[in-house]
Amino acid sequence: MLRNLIAVLVGLIVGVQVNTWISMDLSSIFYQLPAELAQEMPEGLYSDEQKVFTDARMEAWVAYIQTLPATAFILPILGHLAMAFCGGWVAAGLSSASTKPDRHPLREGPLGVAMIVGVLSLVAGITNAVMLSVPIWMWIEMPFYLLLAWVVGNMEVKRRAALA
């Protein structure tokens, strides 16, 4: 039980880091393109000195997001999906195997742990989408968090079965 809890926490940490790398760091590389393709942030919207979100800054973020073209959402969507995939993969790999053969695989073991990461990724995605008022078509990505977590959980179950 403790091992599975640690696996979920490590999976979430890895997933969030992958999401941040793709959504923020990789985006900044792509945004150093010609001026016609770049989506520059308005001055003062984000600074390292002021990390606290006030209501005014949140409203400014929502207004900024509404002005972005659809292509600006590609890397964040990939980052969100990578969070569920990589986080679930790490959590499934670190999880303990079910000690009782009559247990359902979703309750214990790699599949269950990966699905917990997928559900928590889904909750974070819904919270993010509601807070930032993202375009309605971005909600399409939400079910894929669970699908990707299920895929990596099953991959780990099959890998362990092949090794046994």
DSSP 95: S
Task: Tell me, yes or no, whether 128 lies in a domain.
Answer: yes
Nearest CA-CA partner of 157 in 118, 102, 104: 104
Q: Within the chain, what is the greatest distance between any pair of CA atoms?
A: 60
In terms of pTM, does the model score above 0.85? no
The three-state secondary structure class of 105 is coil
Residue 10 domain boundaries:
2-21+59-163
Task: Tell me, yes or no, whether 16 lies in a domain.
Answer: yes
Average pLDDT (79-94) is 95
Task: Tell me, yes or no, whether 49 lies in a domain.
Answer: no
Q: How many domains does the chain have?
A: 1
Task: Tell me, yes or no, whether 41 lies in a domain.
Answer: no
Task: Tell me, yes or no, whether 40 lies in a domain.
Answer: no
User: Cα–Cα distance between 52 and 58 in angstroms, integer?
Assistant: 10
Task: Tell me, yes or no, whether 51 lies in a domain.
Answer: no
The three-state secondary structure class of 91 is helix
Note the pLDDT tens digit of each residue in 46-62. 655 556 666 777 777 77
User: Cα–Cα distance between 57 and 42 in angstroms, integer?
Assistant: 11
